[in-house]
């Protein structure tokens, strides 16, 4: 370190922005500490009521926002750019409360608020000990001349002396006053480095508690991104289904009706034959369009997964006993995957199993759906390459789902699909 750097340190921009950070962050630290205590105490105290848990979840949400203020302040004044944690995905109703309560980044932010205040008190003490006392010492000769900040004592000879007393030594002579002044100058050059070093624990805590956490955070970020992509894809497919159902399909039906009127208006002959052909083509297009729409988004899902599965079981080619116990409604993407899994499994039962009966059940527990289809067929079902079961396996894997198949020779076959309630 060069002598110039040492001499310029007290007037450098870095040291003044660090002092400004300490002064500005002090009230924010006090607020964060009080806010955390109030949120935890109120949330725990009201946990026996319906308001306690939602209150705590909301408190964690606000903690993320306060943590953003700390990151912004550190980035602007200290140049400490901390990457914020991955955003929390949204979900309706109680699922949102559950997501907020399991938000590790918000809990880390609250932990930071609790340790930030004691650290800030130490920072302010170091600030006063170095900067304030250096200014007091440097201006000591002026204070002595003005009779300010003086102690009055009697020495061993009974003489009255006025001046700063440290360790029994009275600094009232010029050499001693200059010694105090020199000590203040020395302290002035030590103060910038003391301030800088004192901020290091705060910088480390911010990076550790307010920033993005390594591999685990990255994995969670990818999971959140995938969930949003799956939900967006489901919403897009549903919009396409609506457009086809309410647009192209309606126009084709209108075209068929117009062709019927044309057919009735023309006599038998070549023109009528052409109209008959066009009408048949339009009807085939309508039928293909309906099958396409059902493949994109079954209209039965508009009334919920439980209704859709019950309807699916009732229309199966093999008698199916359905037992659907669904609590909170899953996201649209999960509903769609569960429905298509059930449809494919029941179709396999009707086509390949040789079964006379089948059972479909859907339960929900601990944030996961468990769909099971069982039949009394001859068994040996396996997810071979390109089969319907392998397609199901690929579909459920997109949302961290699981597919289990038990199908010994002679049966029965039990296929279990587990999916998260939210993608």
The list of the chain residues with pLDDT below 50 reads none
Domain boundary at 168, 188, 211, which? 211
Whether 285 and 365 share a structural domain = no
Q: What is the pLDDT of residue 165?
A: 78
Omega prior to 94 cis, within 30 of 0: no
| Token reading at 16 | 């003044």
- Judge if 303 and 252 occupy the same domain: no
Domain that holds residue 123: 3-211
315 and 385 housed in the same domain: yes
**Residue 19: partners with Cβ closer than 8 Å, 6 or more residues away:** 127, 131, 195
How many domains does the chain fold into? 3
CA distance 339 to 321: 16
Written as one string, the DSSP assignment of 222-234 is HHHHHHHHHHHHH
H or E element, residue 175: helix 174-198
Q: Mean pLDDT over all residues of the chain?
A: 84
Q: What is the pLDDT of residue 143?
A: 84
Instruction: Mention every residue, 6+ apart, whose C-beta is less than 8 A from residue 13.
Output: none
Helices 104-127 and 52-77, axial angle in degrees (round to 10): 50
- Do 108 and 181 lie in a common domain? yes
Task: Give dist(CA 70, CA 76) in Å, integer.
Answer: 10
User: Are residues 7 and 91 part of one domain?
Assistant: yes
Domain end residue (candidates: 294, 309, 329): 294
The reported pLDDT for the residue numbered 102 is: 81
Confidence at residue 385, expressed as pLDDT on a 0 to 100 scale? 55
Residue 421 DSSP label? S
How are strands ordered across the β-sheet holding 402-406?
320-324, 358-365, 368-375, 413-420, 402-406
188 and 40 belong to one structural domain? yes
Whether residue 103 contacts residue 179, with contact meaning beta carbons closer than 8 Å, is answered with no
Structure confidence at residue 222 (pLDDT): 74
Kind of pairing between the strands at 320-324 and 368-375: unpaired
Report the CATH number at residue 375: 3.30.565.10
**Which one of 294, 317, 346 terminates a domain?**
294
**Local structure of residue 295 (DSSP, 8 states):** H
pTM over 0.85: no
Sign of CA dihedral 292, 373, 331, 390: negative
Cβ-proximal residues to 189 (8 Å cutoff; 6+ apart), any chain: 6, 7, 9, 10
Write down the pLDDT at residue 415.
92
């Amino acid at each position: 370190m060069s002598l110039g750097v040492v001499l310029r340190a007290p007037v450098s921009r870095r040291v003044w922005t660090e002092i400004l950070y300490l002064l500005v962050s002090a009230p924010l630290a006090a607020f964060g500490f009080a806010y955390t205590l109030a949120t935890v105490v109120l949330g725990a105290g009201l946990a026996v009521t319906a308001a306690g848990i939602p209150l705590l979840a909301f408190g964690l949400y606000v903690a993320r926002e306060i943590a953003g203020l700390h990151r912004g302040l550190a980035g602007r004044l200290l140049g400490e750019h901390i990457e914020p944690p991955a955003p929390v995905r949204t979900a309706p109703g109680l699922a949102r409360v559950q997501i907020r309560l399991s938000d590790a980044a918000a809990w880390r932010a609250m932990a930071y608020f609790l340790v930030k205040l004691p650290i800030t008190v130490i920072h302010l003490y170091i600030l006063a000990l170095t900067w304030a006392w250096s200014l007091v010492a440097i201006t000591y000769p002026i204070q002595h001349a003005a009779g300010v900040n003086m102690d009055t004592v009697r020495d061993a000879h009974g003489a009255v002396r006025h001046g700063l007393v440290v360790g029994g030594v009275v600094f009232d002579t010029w050499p001693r006053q200059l010694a105090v002044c020199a000590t203040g100058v020395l302290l002035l050059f030590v103060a910038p480095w003391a301030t800088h070093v004192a901020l290091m624990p705060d910088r480390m805590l911010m990076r550790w508690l307010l920033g993005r956490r390594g591999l685990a955070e990255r994995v969670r970020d990818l999971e959140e991104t995938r969930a949003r992509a799956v939900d967006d894809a489901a919403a897009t497919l549903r919009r396409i289904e609506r457009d086809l159902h309410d647009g192209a399909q309606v126009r084709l039906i209108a075209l068929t009706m117009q062709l019927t009127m044309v057919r009735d208006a023309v006599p038998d002959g070549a023109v009528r034959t052409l109209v008959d052909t066009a009408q048949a083509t339009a009807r085939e297009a309508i039928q293909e369009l309906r099958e396409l729409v059902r493949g994109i988004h079954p209209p039965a899902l508009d009334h919920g997964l439980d209704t859709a599965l019950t309807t699916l079981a009732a229309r199966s080619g093999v008698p199916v006993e359905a037992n659907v116990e669904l609590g909170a409604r899953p996201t649209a993407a999960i509903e769609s995957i569960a429905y298509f899994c059930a449809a494919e499994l029941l179709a396999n039962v009707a086509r390949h199993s040789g079964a006379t009966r089948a059972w479909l059940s859907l339960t929900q527990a601990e944030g996961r759906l468990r769909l099971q289809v069982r039949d009394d067929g001859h068994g040996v079902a396996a997810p071979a390459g390109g089969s319907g079961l392998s397609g199901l396996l690929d579909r459920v894997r997109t949302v961290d789902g699981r597919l289990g198949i038990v199908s010994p020779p002679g049966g029965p076959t039990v296929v279990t699909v587990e999916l998260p309630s939210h993608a």
